[in-house]
Structure 1
Amino acid sequence: MSRTTVQPNSAIPVKVKRRKLSPERIVSVCTPLVMLLLWWMVSLAVGEKYLTSPGKIVTTMGVLFTDGYVGTNLTTHIVASLFRTIGGYVLAILLAIPIGLWMGMNKYVSAILSPVFAVIRPIPAIAFLPLFIMWFGIGEVARVMLIFMSAFLYIVLNTFSGVKTIPNGLIQAAKNLGANRIQLFSKVIFPATLPSIMTGLKAGLAVSWAIVVAAELMAAQEGLGYMIMDAATFFRMPVVYVGIVLIGLIGLILENIISIIEKKSCHWSGK
């Protein structure tokens, strides 16, 4: 009686699933490419005098990384701007989140501070520049404080708003289950406020990174803002474009970092 042996590695078709790009993803990838193409075409039409081409910007950026700008390497300018931004931003986080939570949880604190923030909120941070120069001089402290002021209001108000939007039924249910004040804060109030805090952190970081240009007007000798202003003074337009592009790209990276942290810490949000 003959046997039929089955080879273990016989040809069994295995279907490999390939991830298809969604139309939204395709549009997101193609849009920057189309914008670069349009930019290049317009720069050819109007001339490099009025609009520097993407190729010239890339070439100038390479030269700046190699030779620096006014004797300072481009990496040093980037690090200086990041240092000022992160310094003011972290200081804002350390003060704004506790104050926002305190305002949301205590009606008397809210009654005291809400009018103050209502008056300060419409004032652009750049308006405080002369005061900071008078109070702190023209050194790093004044620049960091200007960035701090710009981020602080966004974070504290978003945190306060997050606490106030927590449903009263949720808090009452926790109390009925016997939660004490520490448990109520750690298990209900803070987790429920966290999405609003992250929104404030994203907005605060974006504003902090944008205001660094104004902060570096105060007798700075390093930084992207200083480089842009100095290059504009001497009409070195390719350098100006390099600074602008770098601020945009670094800002995008910083925003994505905060978005990743938000997805990890608020994974339940929107579900």
Structure 2
Amino acid sequence: MPIAVAAQTYVVAVIVFLVAWEVSSRAYGIPLLVPPVEVTFRKLVQLVKQGLLLRDILWTTGRVAVGFFIGSVAGATAGLAMGYWPIIRRMLEPYVNFFRFIPALAWISIVLLLLGTGEVARISIIVYTSVSAVLINTLAGIVSIPPAQLRAAQTFGANQSQIFSRVIFPGTVRYILTGMRLALGSAFMAVISAEMLVADQGLGFLVINARLWMAMDEALVGVIFIGLLGLLADRLFGYLVNRYAWRFYGGTGSEM
């Protein structure tokens, strides 16, 4: 899609959203519960001037970055190990299939008892959420490699290290990145949930604190910036993948 057309589409979408928001606010008839666009914008300006919005954005971004990085590395490492060594897969697969059905929020009470209410507890929730998607996709990537390709590498005299670096890893990178992109969305959902329950900074805290004080305009600002921050992170991740990661798997740079 041409850049000009894409820009026009986004502008139209934003205008439609703002109009629908304003109409909904007026139709509901209770500005306190559904604040109009103008009131919410004034609250946004106030939060920016006070520095509170930037503070909360930085806290949320930092937590997501740390938890997502640790979870992605752990998930990719475990997935590669499970795919490369069958014995490890047989040992870990039952646990992976068990824990991936348990949402992070179910662990919060236990995490708080074990780790307290500090940053370690919040980041642990994000790590737990991120690991599953990356691990499962990494394992799927290794399983998808044709056995004939592995046998061909062995026929040409490749040792185990060369098979891993030249066949298995390049064939799995695309799956790892897909898992990371899914994990990024899960990381944002996890951090907001954690901040709503056990934090005094961050966008999740901003939203839940505003709700307690019936400041719906402030809560809306928080919700909007959660979406914007997640969208920006996803677009940035996609750009970096398209710009650099194709070198690892011989793609064209336009896959994500």
How high is the TM-score relative to the length of structure 2? 0.89
- Quote how far apart the aligned CAs of 1:175 are: 2.0
Change in CA separation of 1:177 and 1:80 when aligned onto 2, cut-off 3 Å: same
- Aligned-pair RMSD on alpha carbons? 2.0
Counterparts in 2 of 1:244-259, with a 5 A limit? 244-259=223-238
Aligned to 2:49: 66
Counterparts in 2 of 1:86-125, with a 5 A limit? 86-125=65-104
Secondary structure of the 1:217 match is helix
Secondary structure of the 1:220 match is coil
Aligned to 2:15: 33
Matched, 1:175 2:154: yes
- Quote how far apart the aligned CAs of 1:177 are: 2.3
Give the number of aligned pairs: 248
Change in CA separation of 1:60 and 1:25 when aligned onto 2, cut-off 3 Å: closer
Matched, 1:56 2:35: no
**Is the CA contact (8 Å cut-off) linking 1:143 and 1:218 kept in structure 2?**
no
Counterparts in 2 of 1:159-198, with a 5 A limit? 159-198=138-177
Q: Deviations over 1:80-135 (max 9, x none)?
A: 11111111111112211111101011111111111001111111111010110011
**Is the CA contact (8 Å cut-off) linking 2:75 and 2:134 kept in structure 1?**
yes
Matched to 1:51, the amino acid is V
In 1, Cα distance between equivalents of 2:217 and 2:60: 19
In 1, Cα distance between equivalents of 2:235 and 2:228: 11
Of Structure 1 and Structure 2, the greater helix share is in 2
Q: Deviations over 1:122-180 (max 9, x none)?
A: 11111010110011011111111011111111111111111111111222222222222
**Is the CA contact (8 Å cut-off) linking 2:122 and 2:198 kept in structure 1?**
no
Question: How much identity, in percent, do the aligned residues show?
Answer: 28
Counterparts in 2 of 1:196-211, with a 5 A limit? 196-211=175-190
- Quote how far apart the aligned CAs of 1:217 are: 3.4
How high is the TM-score relative to the length of structure 1? 0.85
In 1, Cα distance between equivalents of 2:72 and 2:251: 23
The unaligned stretches of length 5 or more in structure 2 are none
Shifted more, 166-175 versus 223-232: the winner is 166-175
- Quote how far apart the aligned CAs of 1:42 are: 1.9
Higher Rg: 1
Matched to 1:198, the amino acid is L
In 2, Cα distance between equivalents of 1:153 and 1:20: 36
Aligned to 2:211: 232
In 1, Cα distance between equivalents of 2:161 and 2:202: 44
The unaligned stretches of length 5 or more in structure 1 are 1-18
Counterparts in 2 of 1:11-30, with a 5 A limit? 27=9, 29-30=11-12
Change in CA separation of 1:152 and 1:238 when aligned onto 2, cut-off 3 Å: same
